[in-house]
Amino acid sequence: AERLRAAVLDKGSLIDRDTVWELKRAALEPVLRVPLGPGRRAAYADFLAREGQALEDHATWCALAEVHGSDWSRWPEGLRDPRSAETARARAEVMDRVDFHSRLAWLTDAQLTAAQRTAREAGMPIGIVHDLAVGVHPGGADAWAQQDHFAAGMSVGAPPDAFNARGQDWGLPPWRPDRLAESGYAPFRRLLRALFHYAGALRIDHVMGLFRLWWVPQGRPPTEGTYVRYDAEAMLAVLVLEASRAGSLVIGEDLGTVEPGVRETLDRRGVLGTSVLWFERDWEGDGRPLPPARWRADCLATATTHDLPPTAARLTG
Tens of pLDDT, residue by residue, the chain (317 residues)? 677 777 666 777 787 888 888 888 999 999 999 999 999 999 999 999 999 999 999 999 999 999 999 999 999 999 999 999 999 999 999 999 999 999 999 999 999 999 999 999 999 999 999 999 999 999 999 999 999 999 999 999 999 887 788 999 999 999 999 999 999 999 999 999 999 999 999 999 999 999 999 999 999 999 999 999 999 999 999 999 999 999 999 999 999 889 999 999 999 999 999 999 989 999 889 989 999 899 999 999 999 988 888 889 888 98
What is the per-residue pLDDT for 16? 80
Whether residue 26 is contained in a domain is answered as: no
Same domain, 246 and 158: yes
Q: Could you give the number of structural domains in the chain?
A: 2
Please state, in angstroms and rounded to a whole number, the distance separating the CA atoms of residues 307 and 42: 43
Q: Which residue range is the domain that position 147 belongs to?
A: 125-271
Whether residue 104 is contained in a domain is answered as: yes
HEC sequence for the chain: CHHHHHHHHCCCCCCCHHHHHHHHHHHHHHHHCCCCCHHHHHHHHHHHHHHHHHHHHHHHHHHHHHHHCCCHHHCCHHHHCCCCHHHHHHHHHCHHHHHHHHHHHHHHHHHHHHHHHHHHHCCCCCCCEEEECCCCCCCCHHHHHCHHHECCCEEEEECCCCCCCCCEEEEECCECHHHHHHCCCHHHHHHHHHHHCCCCEEEECCHHHHCEEEEEECCCCHHHCEEEECCHHHHHHHHHHHHHHHCCEEEECCCCCCCCCHHHHHHHCCCEEEEEHHHCECCCCCCCECCHHHCCCCEEEECCCCCCCCHHHHHHC
What is the per-residue pLDDT for 1? 67
- Domain end, chosen from 123, 155, 178, is at 123
Residue 289, number of CB atoms within 10 A of its CB? 12
Same domain, 231 and 134: yes
Same domain, 116 and 135: no
Whether residue 194 is contained in a domain is answered as: yes
Please state, in angstroms and rounded to a whole number, the distance separating the CA atoms of residues 81 and 63: 15
Tell me the pLDDT tens digit for each residue of 183-206: 999 999 999 999 999 999 999 999
Same domain, 238 and 260: yes
What is the per-residue pLDDT for 6? 73
Strands 154-158 and 168-172 come out as antiparallel
Same domain, 50 and 165: no
Same domain, 132 and 105: no
What is the per-residue pLDDT for 124? 97
Whether residue 292 is contained in a domain is answered as: no
Contact by Cβ (8 Å): 94, 64: yes
Entry pTM: 0.90
- Domain end, chosen from 91, 123, 155, is at 123
Please state, in angstroms and rounded to a whole number, the distance separating the CA atoms of residues 79 and 61: 10
Whether residue 163 is contained in a domain is answered as: yes
Contact by Cβ (8 Å): 225, 216: yes
Contact by Cβ (8 Å): 281, 257: no
Same domain, 112 and 160: no
Whether residue 279 is contained in a domain is answered as: no
Same domain, 220 and 255: yes
Same domain, 77 and 204: no
Strands 273-276 and 168-172 come out as unpaired
Same domain, 190 and 214: yes
What one-letter code names the amino acid at 316?
T
CB-count exposure of residue 148 (10 Å: 0-12, 13-18, 19+):
exposed
- Domain end, chosen from 123, 152, 179, is at 123
Whether residue 117 is contained in a domain is answered as: yes
Beta bridge partners of 128: none
Same domain, 158 and 248: yes
Whether residue 303 is contained in a domain is answered as: no
Same domain, 73 and 118: yes
What is the per-residue pLDDT for 62? 98
